[in-house]
Amino acid sequence: MSMDQEVFKALFNPEGVVFFGSLKGGKIGYEILKSNQEGGFQGRVYPVNPAGGDVLGYPVFRSLDEVPGSPQLAVISLPQNVIPQTIRQCGARGIRVAVVISSGFSEVGNLEAEQELVEVAKQAGVRIIGPNCAGVMNPWHHHFPSIEVRALPGHTAFVTQSGALGGATLAWAEERGFGFSKFVSYGNRCDIGDAELLAYLADDPQTRVIAIYIEGLDHGRDFLRVAREVALKKPVVAIKSGRTQAGTRAASSHTGTLAGMDQIYEAAFRKAGIVRVEGIEEMFDLCHGLSQCPIPQGPRVAIVTNSGGPGILAADKAERLGLDVAEPSETLKEKLKSCLSPHASLKNPIDLTVESGYDEYRVAVEQAFSEYDAVIAINVATPYLDSNGIARGIIDAAQTTKKPALTNFMAGRIVREAIGLLSEAGLLNLATGERCAFVLSKLVERKRLLERIRLASPR
Amino acid sequence: MHPLVEKAKQEGRPLLEPEALSLLNHYGISVPEHRFVRTEQETLEACQDLGWPVVMKVVSPDVLHKTEAGGVILNIKNRRQATQAFSQLTALGKRGHRIHGIFICPFQSHDIEFSAGMIRDEQFGPVITFGLGGIWIEVLQDVSFGIAPLSQEETAEMISSIRGKTLLEGKRGKKPADREAISDLLVRLSRMAMEEEAIREMDLNPIFPLEKGVFIADVRIIV
């Protein structure tokens, strides 16, 4: 095992973890320990505090020297001034990685303390996540050394520069039943950063999609190089915040004064094959889509609906996002005409009308796949409509192809069961047809990005 | 490092116009035919050689903003105007500017102007830009960005992503621009930016799109 692999194994799949911090109820050290216990961590747990005694059923060790065995990970929520000596002890004990939750470093202007931490860690041979972070999680290992809501197991890895935003995202995801493969809040990022994490996650078997929230990067060029390789293996979705900083650059040319930071990040993401989104909601939709939907071969989408309005909204949005919402060919129209209601509208959207059920949806979706790259199937339900039948029709049609079918069943209680069927069948259902169009447009964008990266000369 | 870049860096000044064109040429970018002259006699010969009309620009390490300083004279149509332009440009020397000589190239004018450039970003290194040119670059800020080095596919996408791209399609009976040549120019600029690390910024503005190739009407390279 290489040094890096050993570090990441210790970080995400440790067999023994040392917890340094205050173990009184309500203190961060205690809360982390409690959350980790409630999450069902199976490895050995070693709380360390000079007071000794016991906490949450674990004996408390007075110092690291008293801890038996060979723990691999340290989780530290001690005051900033005692952290360097703790890191030295960890290094001497063979602990290769520490998650430093504590604040009081560069984020409050204490650059000396952070520099000292970096140097001590380097000497001690200990890699650092943090400081000033919300911790890490591996739900698949029931490993939750973090102050945030425990993530459900899933297939999206989430790396965040902001701990608070990360925490809010996890809380929201829990509500929606959305799971994660890994969670990392790296805070001040004094050591382990985006590039290394991406490289690890690219080969992590539980991770299908990587989502990152960045405010700014430290080693942009390294990040680009790694991200390009990673993006060929797995989709990377990024949210980049941060005010435009045009004008802060010392520039004497026109070009220089024009370049906003944001546009440069945009260009960098494009180059790396990273799909950029505007906010958390879009990120969820897209991570869902990327982990579930096949990648479309092109931008042609058919919108199949039983109601005009929502179908047209979806079509408008799709068109605005650069998807091709062309009408069906005459051949396809003929085929559809023979098996659909005489009132059906055979343009795009293909409006099956409200009298349609299993058969109409199955035929329309299956036929649409014969000349479109993707289908958005919309069901605007009424209580008397057989939404489960419609769902089955779409599911059966989708199983005949490797192209993506996105669904929008609206709304509320009357479609809940049908949405359950869709989700069991691995189909993505979103709250509106517009959101389906958005996800689809980004899937198409990812396909184009991949082609471009493959075409570009390697360097 | 290219010797011209090294020299400019040592002397702490931007590249002079003939140097800049020579550097572009070294990286396979086709530049307008041009002459560098020192006397009135040489000026007239050069104009005759290049064919009227011409542009004359002062070549001076002390004049960074040539147009503002009166160091650029456009659309010179005959010997009389050339002689007059020569005196006007050499007169800039009286204001304490060191004058190396005069740069002359054919005069072209187009109603469509584009621009290309390079800046160095702290995080991502050389960034290539493409956009509308002339004053439009400032007014409309219609610019696209690409991180060097760039492939032909990437630069084609940069060209397609500006709002003013329809201007390249040839409206009102005009022939469409040579997009491949623009794309190639951006690729080569990106290569140059990777190689010549001492170059801090570049401005190629305006650039006229031609039916075949492009005409780079002004270059500024800052080291």
Domains of chain B: 33-106 (3.30.1490.20), 114-222 (3.30.470.20)
Confidence of residue A407 (pLDDT cuts 50, 70, 90): very high
Q: Are residues A275 and A198 in the same domain?
A: yes
φ/ψ of residue B101, rounded to 5? 160, -160
CA distance A123 to A95: 13
| Closest Cβ opposite residue B201 in set A216, A252, A452 | A252
Cβ-Cβ contacts under 8 Å, A254 against chain B: 115, 117, 137-138, 203, 205
What the block records as the tokens of A215 is: 């405010």
Residue B183 is predicted with a pLDDT of 96
Interface check for B202 against chain A (CB to CB < 8 A): the answer is yes
Confidence of residue A249 (pLDDT cuts 50, 70, 90): very low
Helix axes A220-233, A194-202, angle to 10 degrees: 10
Mean pLDDT to the nearest integer, B161-187: 87
Q: Outline where B12-106 has alpha helix (H).
A: 17-26, 40-50, 79-90
Query: Is residue A143 situated within a structural domain?
Result: yes
Q: Are residues A336 and A391 in the same domain?
A: yes
Q: Are residues A317 and A334 in the same domain?
A: yes
Confidence of residue A280 (pLDDT cuts 50, 70, 90): confident
Mean pLDDT to the nearest integer, B100-110: 93
How much of chain A, in percent, has pLDDT values that exceed 90?
84
Nearest alpha carbon to residue A373 among A444, A454, A291: A444
Q: Are residues A364 and A417 in the same domain?
A: yes
Q: Is the pLDDT at B102 greater than 90, yes or no? A: yes
Digit-coded pLDDT (tens) for A33-51: 999 999 999 999 999 999 9
CA distance to partner chain B, nearest, from residue A453 (Å): 9
Confidence of residue A250 (pLDDT cuts 50, 70, 90): very low
Q: Is the pLDDT at A458 greater than 50, yes or no? A: no
Mean pLDDT to the nearest integer, A5-14: 96
Q: Is B78 exposed, middle or buried (0-12, 13-18, 19+ CB in 10 A)?
A: exposed
Residue B109 is predicted with a pLDDT of 86
**Residue A396 belongs to domain with CATH number:** 3.40.50.261
Domain's final residue, options A110, A132, A154: A132
User: Does residue A17 contact residue A120 with C-beta atoms inside 8 Å?
Assistant: no
Confidence of residue A99 (pLDDT cuts 50, 70, 90): very high
Strand order in the sheet with A374-380: A345-346, A350-351, A301-305, A374-380, A405-410, A428-429
Q: For A119-123, A244-248, A264-268, which range has the lowest pLDDT when averaged over its residues?
A: A244-248
| Closest Cβ opposite residue B119 in set A220, A256, A452 | A256
Q: Are residues A10 and A58 in the same domain?
A: yes
What the block records as the tokens of B143 is: 């610019």
Q: Is the pLDDT at A226 greater than 50, yes or no? A: yes
Q: Are residues A168 and A282 in the same domain?
A: yes
Mean pLDDT to the nearest integer, A345-357: 94
Digit-coded pLDDT (tens) for B27-36: 999 999 999 9
| Closest Cβ opposite residue A258 in set B143, B149, B222 | B143
Return the amino acid letter for A336. L
Domain's final residue, options A237, A270, A292: A292
ipTM of the assembly? 0.86
Residue with structure tokens 């979706």? A365
Q: DSSP letter string over B43-70? A: HHHHHHHH-SSEEEEEE-TT-SSTTTTT
Contact A224/B147, CB-based, under 8 Å? Answer: yes
Confidence of residue A260 (pLDDT cuts 50, 70, 90): low
Q: How high is the mean pLDDT of chain A?
A: 92
Mean pLDDT to the nearest integer, A189-206: 96
CA distance to partner chain B, nearest, from residue A245 (Å): 12
Digit-coded pLDDT (tens) for A87-98: 999 999 999 999
Q: For A135-139, A206-210, B131-135, B202-206, which range has the lowest pLDDT when averaged over its residues?
A: B131-135
Query: Is residue A261 situated within a structural domain?
Result: yes
Query: Is residue A455 situated within a structural domain?
Result: no
Confidence of residue A459 (pLDDT cuts 50, 70, 90): very low
Query: Is residue A324 situated within a structural domain?
Result: yes
Q: State the total domains in chain A.
A: 3
Residue A457 is predicted with a pLDDT of 47
Residue A242 is predicted with a pLDDT of 64
Q: What is the CA radius of gyration of chain A?
A: 26
> How far is Cα of residue A27 from the mean position of the Cα atoms in its chain?
29
Digit-coded pLDDT (tens) for B147-170: 999 999 999 999 999 988 888 887
This prediction has a pTM of 0.88
Mean pLDDT to the nearest integer, A220-233: 93
Mean pLDDT to the nearest integer, A125-129: 98
Contacts of B53 (CB under 8 A, 6+ apart): B75, B76, B77, B106, B107
Interface check for B111 against chain A (CB to CB < 8 A): the answer is no
Task: For residue A84, give its domain range.
Answer: 3-132
Q: Is the pLDDT at A241 greater than 90, yes or no? A: no
Q: Are residues A151 and A219 in the same domain?
A: yes
Query: Is residue A458 situated within a structural domain?
Result: no
Domain's final residue, options A99, A132, A165: A132
Q: Is the pLDDT at A142 greater than 90, yes or no? A: yes
Cβ-Cβ contacts under 8 Å, A251 against chain B: 119, 201
Cβ-Cβ contacts under 8 Å, A220 against chain B: 121-125
Q: Are residues A312 and A420 in the same domain?
A: yes
Q: Are residues A151 and A275 in the same domain?
A: yes
Query: Is residue A425 situated within a structural domain?
Result: yes
User: Does residue A444 contact residue A275 with C-beta atoms inside 8 Å?
Assistant: no
Q: Is the pLDDT at A162 greater than 50, yes or no? A: yes
Q: Are residues A287 and A141 in the same domain?
A: yes
Q: Is the pLDDT at A252 greater than 60, yes or no? A: no
**Residue A107 belongs to domain with CATH number:** 3.40.50.720
Cis peptide before A10 (omega within 30 of 0): no
> How far is Cα of residue B11 from the mean position of the Cα atoms in its chain?
21
Q: Are residues A316 and A186 in the same domain?
A: no
Q: Are residues A149 and A267 in the same domain?
A: yes
Confidence of residue B187 (pLDDT cuts 50, 70, 90): very high
Q: DSSP letter string over A185-231? A: E-TT-SSS-HHHHHHHHHT-TT-SEEEEEES--SSHHHHHHHHHHHH
Query: Is residue A230 situated within a structural domain?
Result: yes
Query: Is residue A167 situated within a structural domain?
Result: yes
Q: How high is the mean pLDDT of chain B?
A: 91
Residue A378 is predicted with a pLDDT of 98
CA distance to partner chain B, nearest, from residue A319 (Å): 17
What the block records as the tokens of A78 is: 């001690």
Residue A259 is predicted with a pLDDT of 52
Contacts of A280 (CB under 8 A, 6+ apart): A165, A168, A169, A172, A239
Mean pLDDT to the nearest integer, A71-81: 97
Residue A15 is predicted with a pLDDT of 96
- Beta strands A350-351 and A405-410 are unpaired
Mean pLDDT to the nearest integer, A171-196: 94
**A104: number of CA atoms within 13 Å, CB side?**
14
